[in-house]
Amino acid sequence: MFLRYEGAAWEQRFLPRLTSKQVNDLPKEEALVILSVGAVEQHGDHLPVMTDALIGEATLTQALEKIDADEQVWLLPPVSYGKSNEHLGWAGTISLSANTLHSVIMDIARSLKLSGFRRLLLFNTHGGNTDLLNVVAREIRIATGLMVFNMAPHSLNVSADLVSEEELEYGIHGGDYETSVVMAIKPNWVQEHLRTAEFPDVARYELLTLEGRIRFAWVTDDISESGIAGDATKATAEKGEIIQERVTDILAKAFVELSKFEIKDVKKGKAGRVPE
Ligand SMILES: [Zn+2]
């Protein structure tokens, strides 16, 4: 279960609960600021449109419980809306344009830089944001000099023994994985009796894949009748709890590691030359 504004994430690590002076006085040499970027978009008949934003907040709430109190890991208010134009026209979907989302994240990054921070993590819970965030992360690096990280908890590959092979390949939206997670973190927001299964039919192609090396551009109406891709009927809260436990174990370690990362140490210096 996940309770908003309770626990260490919100009581001890929520940056805007501090005063300006307190933020100013924080030790920022080894500090990480986390910005969750989610989405509000249709997730089939059984999941709330808040699903991606909800998973972001819940996962961070759970992960930040696992970090020692003296680590400098700070949480920003989330950007709940994402780039969801693949779902536009499905009621409840509220999308930012690529330009708007780019600008919002860049403005937040510039402000953090002016507050004295050095590291920003873009914590993404919506597949449709991924390409844009890859672009924005580098633009922030160039524009502000911040060290920028970019990740998605659903890409940590923790569910291979929990879901089917078909789900691993095609279960990208509202399927077993995502439904299990929401059943674990906010069970009363899932309409279990309306769960269904639908997989896009691309297995017949040898080289073309949905999200692999050779892709095609799609919107939800191209690939799904129900609005989902995956098998939500197999979802259970127990699976969701295992997924969250594994994901947050990794995240707790990752956040501390990132808070101490120094990009200047990456370049080793003179390249080895071919001997003459
Ligand atoms: Zn989702």
Helix/strand number for the chain, H first, E second:
9, 6
State residue 163's pLDDT score. 97
| pLDDT at residue number 5 | 83
**Centroid of ligand 1 to alpha carbon of 258 (angstroms):** 25
Q: pLDDT of the chain along its 276 residues, tens only?
A: 777 788 999 999 999 999 999 999 999 999 999 999 999 999 999 999 999 999 999 999 999 999 999 999 999 999 999 999 999 999 999 999 999 999 999 999 999 999 999 999 999 999 999 999 999 999 999 999 999 999 999 999 999 999 999 999 999 999 999 999 999 999 999 999 999 999 999 988 999 988 888 999 999 999 999 999 999 999 999 999 999 999 999 999 999 999 999 999 999 877 777 777
Question: What separation in Å is there between the alpha carbon of 178 and the centre of ligand 1?
Answer: 7
> What length is written for the chain?
276
CA of 274 to the centre of ligand 1 (A): 50
CA of 252 to the centre of ligand 1 (A): 22
**Ligand 1 center to 126 CA (angstroms):** 6
- What lies within 8 Å, CB to CB, of 115 at 6+ separation is 23, 24
CA of 243 to the centre of ligand 1 (A): 15
- Quick one: pLDDT at residue 212? 81
Question: 153 is written with which tokens?
Answer: 């908890």
State residue 276's pLDDT score.
73
pLDDT at res. 272: 73
The span from the CA of 258 to the CA of 249, in Å, is 15
pLDDT at 269: 78
Q: Which two tokens stand for residue 58?
A: 């819940």
**Span from the CA of 79 to the centroid of ligand 1 (angstroms):** 15
| Spatial CA neighbour of 123 closest among 111, 108, 145 | 108
State in Å: Cα 84 to ligand 1 middle.
Answer: 10
